[in-house]
Amino acid sequence: MAVVDAAGAAARAPVPTWLVTGPRAGAREAAIAARLVADSAAGAGAPTVIILEGLSDGGSALAFDPADGPVDVAPIPQVLRIAPGCLHCSGNLVLRVTLNRVLRRPPAQLYISLATAEHLELLRAWLSEPPYGDLLDLQSDIAA
């Protein structure tokens, strides 16, 4: 549903966004994959972007390659990996650049997987401030 701003122009609805934490990359990726399969089965069928901090620990549940056989989700989500390191302590530069690129063509939903939950609340507060506060609809965190 389109939102109309004060000038009467159609504004974009905020993107539902989940912050995903957990002890290992594989656990976080499996938690996201399970949500995607459930959403796909429920008919959500809208594009999703997943931002993963750091490297996979092998055998990623988010390796959706149709060449490997049938894929459980449709459409296939866009998976972006960014350098490991606290997204808050790094001044949010890497995340800011990645989010700005993603939000040019906003996805139906967004997952951000964090290598550490040490500064989760600070990151959540930063994402709630302008400009992201108007562009993202932060959901409850997912603990893998």
SS3 99: helix
Q: Which residues span the domain enclosing 84?
A: 3-143
Quick check: 128 and 138 in contact, CB under 8 A?
Answer: yes
Phi and psi of 11, rounded to 5°? -105, 155
Among 14-18, 37-41, 59-63, 81-85, name the most confident range.
14-18
The gap from C-alpha 20 to its chain's centroid, in whole angstroms, comes to 8
CATH code, domain with 130: 3.40.1010
User: pLDDT digits over 76-121, tens only?
Assistant: 888 888 887 777 676 678 889 999 999 999 999 999 999 888 889 9
Provide the number of structural domains found in the chain.
1
Confidence of residue 4 (pLDDT cuts 50, 70, 90): very low
SS3 122: helix
Sequence-ordered list of residues with C-beta below 8 angstroms from that of 39, at least 6 positions apart, any chain: 48, 73, 109
